[in-house]
């Protein structure tokens, strides 16, 4: 992988982690287009790094919220922060369980599965289109909502299903206020990303090459910077009911991926 390819992939990861268009799906498409021939171990190391960068950008954007949640969690008092923290914990359980029980099966879905990515992008587009037409409410995320939103996040493990798109759309369709939906969606992924990174690092599946240090740095910076601005922009876009534009985008890219697969096979 070259430094230019790393920057491009970092930008794609940074933008698509928060914009509802599937970061995993776009990384698979980009690798196919760029002709990335990295070894599996090196590719895993790069993926871990750019995911860490976007998780870090989330922490920076929501640093005050995270600080309040941690204070509430360790205050040992039953208050709004404690309840919200518990909802976050509940929401990550489905994805954590699926990820641990079906890790090998999930890994087989990645690595050039362009047809699957295209089909799942179309489903993401449909979810976004429906959510954009949902009525505005001032509802907060309930404990039951947290479970359903968590299930949608687990389904978003599939490449092409946008995690933010699935969780925000599900929240809005459940009647949750759009601003609260975006905030909950971005905060609930932070523990999962850090947990997955820790697991991948301990597994030894990632191979860190000293010769690739420039590639790692370039990818990390690109993912962090673009992730930071994409996260802030997405909150504004969700509040203004602009999800349908991302739906159209997912339909177009999904259809193009399907056509590309049929032509090249």
Q: Quote the pLDDT of residue 96.
A: 87
Return the SS3 of 139.
Answer: strand
Instruction: Give the separation between CA 171 and CA 195, rounded to whole angstroms.
Output: 23
Residue 94's pLDDT is 92
Q: Which residues contact 7 (CB under 8 A, 6 or more apart)?
A: 218, 219, 222
Summarize pLDDT for 72-122 with one digit per residue, the tens.
Answer: 677 777 777 788 888 998 999 998 898 888 877 777 776 667 888 889 999
Contact 239, 183 (CB under 8 A): no
Strand-pairing partners, residue 139, are 176
DSSP SS3 for 75: coil
Which residues of the chain carry a pLDDT beneath 70?
Answer: 31, 35-44, 72, 110-112, 200, 203-212, 265
Candidates 177, 204, 228; CA nearest to 48 is 204
Give the global pTM.
Answer: 0.81
pLDDT reported for residue 204: 62
pLDDT reported for residue 79: 78
Distance CA 17, CA 28 (A): 13
Tokens linked to 91:
């929401």
The pLDDT, as a whole number, for residue 39 is: 42
Contact 109, 159 (CB under 8 A): yes
- Contact indicator for 184, 171 with CB cutoff of 8 Å: yes
CA 101 to chain centre: 20
pLDDT of residue 229: 92
The token pair at 50 is 């750019």
Burial 194-232 (b: 16+ CB within 10 A, else e): eebbeebeeeeebeeeeebeebbebbbebbbebbbebbe
Q: What is the DSSP string of 198-245?
A: HHHHHHT-----GGGHHHHHHHHHHHHHHHHHHHHHHHHHHHTT-HHH
Q: What is the per-residue pLDDT for 105?
A: 77
**The pLDDT of residue 57:** 92
Question: Concatenated DSSP letters for 151-206?
Answer: HHHHHTTSTTS-HHHHHHHHHHHTTB-HHHHHHHHHHHHHHHHHHHHHHHHHHT--
Q: Please report the pLDDT score of residue 5 as a whole number.
A: 83
């Amino acid at each position: 992988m070259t430094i230019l390819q790393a920057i491009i992939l970092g930008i794609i990861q940074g933008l698509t982690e928060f914009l509802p268009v599937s970061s995993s799906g776009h990384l698979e498409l980009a690798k196919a287009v760029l002709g990335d021939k990295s070894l599996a171990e090196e590719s895993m190391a790069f993926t871990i790094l750019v995911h860490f960068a976007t998780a870090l950008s989330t922490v920076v954007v929501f640093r005050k919220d995270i600080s309040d949640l941690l204070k509430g969690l360790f205050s040992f008092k039953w208050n709004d922060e404690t309840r919200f923290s518990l909802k976050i914990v509940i929401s990550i359980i489905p994805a954590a369980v699926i990820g641990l029980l079906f890790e090998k099966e999930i890994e087989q879905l990645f690595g050039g599965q362009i047809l699957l990515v295209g089909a799942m992008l179309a489903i993401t587009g449909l979810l976004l289109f429906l959510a954009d037409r949902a009525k505005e409410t001032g509802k907060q995320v309930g404990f039951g909502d947290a479970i359903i939103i968590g299930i949608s996040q687990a389904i978003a493990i599939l490449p092409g299903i946008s995690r933010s798109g699935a969780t925000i759309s599900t929240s809005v369709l459940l009647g949750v206020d759009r601003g609260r939906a975006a905030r909950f969606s971005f905060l609930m992924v932070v523990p999962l990303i850090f947990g997955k990174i820790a697991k991948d690092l301990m597994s030894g599946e990632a191979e860190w090459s000293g010769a690739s240090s420039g590639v790692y740095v370039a990818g990390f910076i690109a993912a962090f910077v673009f992730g930071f601005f994409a996260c802030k922009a997405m909150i504004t876009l969700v509040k203004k009911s602009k999800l349908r534009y991302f739906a159209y985008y997912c339909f177009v890219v999904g259809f193009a991926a399907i056509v590309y697969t049929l032509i090249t096979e």
